[in-house]
């Protein structure tokens, strides 16, 4: 009986913790006279947040402290007002959950982060002549729980402040800003930035040779995963993909260049 009561108490306590945890549950993207407005909505109110920019390529990064990532997709194609894509994932799980939202922009653009009607808003404006400030020192990669009043805070080599901007070249090394949950997703081919190099025909099944804009090669067969979709069909001179953007399935076809046929 004691074990049963202990289990019930633990279950009730755990359920309370889960219900109290804040979750990024919805988003919206709107066009305004001032620019593109991205709104983030949460189950437990606006959380503590920190934001910064990266210069190569230009990105606006928003970290949501003590928040679980609850959006179904991890990549959303925007293609408006200078925002090419919005990406999101669970950047950190322990000791404090941190959800990260990244806006891939087409250049150095002005932006403001504010709170409005229970939502966190990011307004991306016009192109600025002043590039994003760059830093050679990497920012703090892990958020930690705040020290209790009775405990002496641990010394930190560097503290991430609100609105700070950083530059980090990930060429040839792992990008420290890539969220844990997006590690596998980042390795998938982005079809919108790829080209078809060739098709190998065989009895075991056709294989497509592709290359992304970085020059990284991919060997794919029918049914293989790509960013937000899969390979549907491989023909002698083309590859057909099905991807999902904003809940809609889109058919993408990559053809061999004439000189490659």
- Residue 17 pLDDT greater than 50, yes or no: no
Report the topology of domain 191-260.
SH3 type barrels. (2.30.30)
Measured CA to CA, the distance from residue 55 to residue 166 in angstroms comes to 7
What pLDDT score does 39 carry?
95
Whether 125 and 38 have beta carbons less than 8 Å apart is answered as no
- The pLDDT of 150-166, averaged and rounded, is 46
- The pLDDT of 188-195, averaged and rounded, is 89
Select the more confidently predicted residue: 23 or 142.
23
Measured CA to CA, the distance from residue 112 to residue 89 in angstroms comes to 21
Measured CA to CA, the distance from residue 53 to residue 162 in angstroms comes to 11
Mean pLDDT of the chain: 77
Q: How far apart are the first and last CA of the chain?
A: 75
* 21-137+159-183 and 191-260 share one fold: no
Measured CA to CA, the distance from residue 2 to residue 49 in angstroms comes to 42
Q: What separation in angstroms does the CA of 71 have from each of 8, 25, 27, 95, 246?
A: 31, 6, 8, 21, 11
Select the more confidently predicted residue: 31 or 245.
31
Q: How confident is the model at residue 83 (pLDDT cuts 50, 70, 90)?
A: very high
pLDDT in tens, 233-259: 999 899 999 988 766 788 899 998 764
What pLDDT score does 128 carry?
82
Question: Which region among 4-8, 24-28, 29-33, 155-159 has the lowest average model confidence (pLDDT)?
Answer: 155-159
Answer CATH for 21-137+159-183 from 1.10.460.10, 3.30.70.270, 2.60.40.3500, 2.60.120.260: 2.60.40.3500
What pLDDT score does 72 carry?
82
- The pLDDT of 173-184, averaged and rounded, is 45
What pLDDT score does 56 carry?
80
What pLDDT score does 205 carry?
84
Please say whether the dihedral angle defined by the alpha carbons of residues 185, 187, 193 and 199, taken in this order, is positive or negative.
negative
pLDDT in tens, 204-226: 789 999 998 888 889 999 989 99
Residue ranges per structural domain of the chain? 21-137+159-183, 191-260
């Amino acid at each position: 009986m004691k074990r049963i009561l202990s289990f019930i108490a633990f279950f009730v306590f755990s359920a309370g913790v889960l219900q109290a945890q804040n979750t990024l549950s919805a988003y919206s993207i709107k066009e305004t006279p001032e620019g593109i407005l991205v709104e983030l909505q949460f189950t437990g109110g606006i959380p503590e947040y920190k934001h910064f920019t990266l210069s190569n390529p230009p990105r606006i990064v928003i970290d949501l402290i003590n928040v679980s990532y609850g959006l179904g997709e991890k990549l959303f194609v925007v293609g408006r007002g200078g925002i090419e894509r919005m990406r999101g994932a669970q950047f950190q799980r322990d000791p404090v959950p941190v959800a990260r939202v990244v806006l891939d922009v087409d250049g150095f653009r002005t932006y403001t982060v504010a709170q409005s009607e229970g939502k966190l808003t990011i307004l991306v404006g016009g192109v600025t002549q002043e590039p994003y400030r760059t830093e050679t020192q990497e920012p703090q990669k892990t958020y930690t729980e705040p020290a209790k009043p009775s405990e002496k805070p641990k010394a930190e080599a560097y503290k991430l402040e609100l609105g700070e901007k950083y530059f980090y070249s990930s060429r040839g090394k792992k990008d420290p800003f890539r969220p844990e949950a997006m590690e596998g997703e980042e390795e998938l081919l982005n079809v919108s930035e790829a080209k078809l190099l060739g098709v190998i025909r065989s009895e075991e099944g056709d294989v497509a040779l592709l290359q992304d804009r970085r020059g990284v090669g991919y060997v794919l067969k029918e049914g293989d995963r790509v960013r937000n979709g899969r390979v549907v069909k491989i023909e002698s001179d083309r590859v057909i993909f099905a991807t999902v953007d904003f809940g809609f399935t889109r058919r993408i076809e990559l053809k061999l260049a004439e000189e490659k046929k």
